[in-house]
Structure 1
Amino acid sequence: MQYIIAIGIFQALMVGGILWKNKLRSGADSLLILLVACIASHLAIKFVIYNFVEDLHVREQMNTFIGYCYGPLLYLFSLKVRDDRFIPASKWYVFLPFVLGAIAYFSIAGALFASNFSDYRLLKWYNDLSTVTMLASEFCFIFFSLSLLKDISDAKKREKRMVKKLAYLFLSIALCSLCFFTLGYFYEISNMLAIRSLIYAMLTAICIQIGYYSVFQEQTVRFPAVGLEMAEEKAISKKAPLSPERQQEIWNSLEHHLQEYKTFTDSELSLDKLALATGINKYHISETLNSFGQCSFYQYINEHRIQYAIKRMQRLHQDETPVNVLSLAYDAGFKAKSSFNKYFKEITGFTPTEHLRSLN
C-alpha cells in the first residue's frame, strides 16, 4: 500500500514539475497542474494516515475530501479546451462540495480525537455520506465533460483525446468505488486496504497519462500549414527584399491567422513557432513587421494580447462576471501579471484596474 502511494506521489510531483518547468501555466494546461497537485496532496495525506495513524477504522474508512476536486477540474479543463476564452475562475462554485467536504473532514477528525477514538458512529456517517456525494459529483462532471467533446474543434485533436482519456480513467475509478461501496452493504469486505490500493494505482495511472500528454506525445500542429508554400519560402534568400505588395499580403495573412486561431495566447510563442503555424518564412515575417508594421515581433504579439484582454474585460463586464486580472493575463498569453500590467499601460495609457473602473 505505502509503496503504491509513494510511487503515485512521485509521479504526480514529477509531472507537475515538468509542466511548471515548461511554463505551461496558461490555458487548459494550468488546470492539469492543479489536477496533479490535488492527486499528490490526496496521496500524501493517505501516506501520513497509513504510516502514523494506528486506528484501523480511520485508516480503512476515512475518505479524503480532495476527491471532490477531480470532477470539477476535469470539467473546467474540458471547457477551457473547447473555448480558449473561457476563464475557469468564473465557475468557482463547482468547488463548493470540496469546501464542504473539507469542513466535514476536519470536523470529524477533531471529534474522533476528542473522543479518544472511542465512538465511530460519526466516522461511518461521514464515510457513507461523502462516498455517495463524491460519486454523484464525479459521475455528473464526467458526463458534462464527455458531452462537451462534440463541441471541441477538430483542430484540437490532441486535447480532445486527453479529455476523453481522463474522463474514462476517472469513470473507472468511480465505477470501482461504486461497486465496492455497494458490495459493502451486503457482504463484509475484509481487505479494504487492497481495494484502496487499486484506486491509488489508478490515480497514479492518471498522472502517467498527463505526463505522456505533456512530454512524450509528439506535438501536433494545430494550425493548417501550407507545406509546399513554406518550402518555397525557405528556398528564397532571407536577404531578398520583399515588395510592398508581398508585405501587405503577409501582414493580412498574419492578422487573419492570429484572429482565427488566437496563436498569441501561447505564452511560449516565438517567431519560429509562428512561422511554422502560418507556413510563412520567419525572415519574411520579421521584415514585414519591421518595415510594414513598424514594430518588433514581441510588440506586435503583445498588442494582440492586450486587445484580446480588453475585449474579454468588456464581455465579462457585460455578463456581470467578476474579472480576475491574473487569470486574464495568463489567458492572454502573458507569463506574469507584472508584464501584463506593464504592456497594458504602455499600449492603452491605463492599468488594467483603471480600465476596469472606467467600464463602470
Structure 2
Amino acid sequence: MSQKVISFGEIMLRLSTPGYQRFNQASEFVATYGGGEANVAVSLANYGIESEFVTRLPKNDIGRTCAMELRKYGVGIDQIIYGGDRLGIYFLETGAVSRGSKVVYDRANSAISQVEIGMIDWDQVFDGATWFHWTGITPAISQGAAAVCLEAIKKANEKGITVSCDLNYRKNLWKYGKTAGEVMPELVAGTDIILGNEEDAEKVLGVKPEGIDVTGGHVEGAAYESVSKQIMKQFPRCKKVITTLRGSINANHNSWAGVLWDGKSLYESPTYQITHIVDRVGGGDSFMGGLIYGLLTWPENDQKALNFAVAASCLKHTIFGDFNQVSVDEVEKLMDGDASGRVAR
C-alpha cells in the first residue's frame, strides 16, 4: 500500500546571523525557509514517502519562492492556498557553549494566521492520504488557524486517516487571548500518535513529570512511563506516546534519545552524545519525520521506528537550516553503529 502524508502549518522565512554572531554584530543574514510541519514534510520526501504540505502563502514573489523551495525537496505543493499580505519571518541567533540560541518572531498578520474555516478543501487534500500531521504551533498562531486545524483533524478522523501531533509548546506565540491548555485538548483528542517533551506535557496537557532535571545533562527515560500513561488515560484515542529526551550540557553539546510507550511496553532508544552541534533548530521535527517514516515502514517494530527517529535527528544537528537533508541509507548507517564520520568515496 502506498503511503501519503499530509502536513499542515506555517512556513516562514528564516533569517540567521552568520556563524555564531549576535544580532547586534550581524551586517547580513542568511535566508532560508522553515517551520515545524514543513520540516517534517521535507524529511519524509527525502525518505521517499509521498509528502504534501498544506499552508497559506502570500501571492507574491516571496510566497512563490517559498513554494519553489519546498518543491525542490520533492514536497507536494498543489494544495497550498494563496492570499494575505505577508510571509512570517523568524530571526535566529545561534548560541555557543553557555550562551543559548535566540529566536525573534516577526509573524503577526501572516497569511496563515488569517486562514478561516472553509478556505481549504480537506476532502480534496485528503484524497489518497494515509497520514495527517499537525503541531501545537499552528493553533497558537491565531483563533482561525486553531479552528482550521481542528477542521482538518475531524475530517481526517472521519476518513480513518492516522493523525499525529508534535505538541510543540511555544509560549511566545499564544497571544490571541487563549492558552494552550484551553485550546489544545480538543485537538489532541482526535490524535493517534503524540510526540512531546517534558515541558510540552506540562504546559499543554497539565501532565507533570516528576524527578527530572533536564538542565543537568542526563535524562532518565523510564521516568516518562507515568507521563505516557496519564496522556493515554486523558486521550483514549491515542495509541502511542513518544517523548524526546534532550540533556543540555551546553549549547554545543547535547545528549539525545527518545522513549516510546505503546500502552503496554516502554521502548528506549540508544543515547547519542552530540558534541559539536551545527544547528539544533528543527531537531524535534527531524525526529518526527523519522518517526513517521519508521512507523509506516516497520509497523510491527516500534523499537526500530524509534531508533530511526533518534538517529535521523542526531544527524540533523550537523546540518545548517531547518530541513533535515539526509537519506535513509545515512540514517541506517548511524543506526548500525557507524558514527565515524569518515569520508565516503
Aligning the two structures, in what range does the TM-score lie when normalised by the shorter sequence? under 0.3
Higher RCO (C-alpha under 8 Å, 6+ residues apart): 1
Larger strand proportion of the pair: 2
- TM (normalized to structure 1)? 0.26
Structure label with greater radius of gyration: 1
